[in-house]
Structure 1
Amino acid sequence: MERVYKTMRNAGALNIVVGIIVTAVGLAAGIISIINGAILLKRKSEITF
């Protein structure tokens, strides 16, 4: 039974680590998107099609 508990503990710890990584990557992607959008809006007059 102790082996099962250790496996469950490791799986839980791994899930927490993966959750933190996914949150950090999502936050970084959101910030980069906002910055790029602001740059595009700032240079809107320079864009010609």
Structure 2
Amino acid sequence: MGEKIYKTMKSVGSFNLVMGILLIVSGITTGVLFIAKGARLLKDKSELMF
């Protein structure tokens, strides 16, 4: 019984580690894209008309 608990904890820990890495990578990617799009808006600010 104790071995089953350790296997479950190991799989949950592995899943949490993978999900954490994926969330960090996607957050960094999203941040870089937002900064790039903001820079493009600032660059073309004089051409925008409202």
- The TM-score, its normalising length taken from structure 1, stands at 0.98
5+ unaligned residues in a row in structure 1: which ranges? none
- Asked if residue 48 in structure 1 is aligned to residue 46 in structure 2, the reply is no
Aligned-CA RMSD value: 0.3
Task: Tell me the number of residue pairs that the alignment of Structure 1 and Structure 2 aligns.
Answer: 49
Deviations along 1:1-49, one digit per CA (max 9) or x if unpaired, are 1000000000000000000000000000000000000000000000000
1-side partners of 2:47 and 2:21: how far apart?
A: 40
Q: Which residue of 2 aligns with 1:35?
A: 36
5+ unaligned residues in a row in structure 2: which ranges? none
Q: Which residue of 2 aligns with 1:15?
A: 16
Q: Which amino acid aligns with 1:7?
A: T
Q: Which runs of 4+ in 1 moved over 3 A?
A: none
- The TM-score, its normalising length taken from structure 2, stands at 0.97
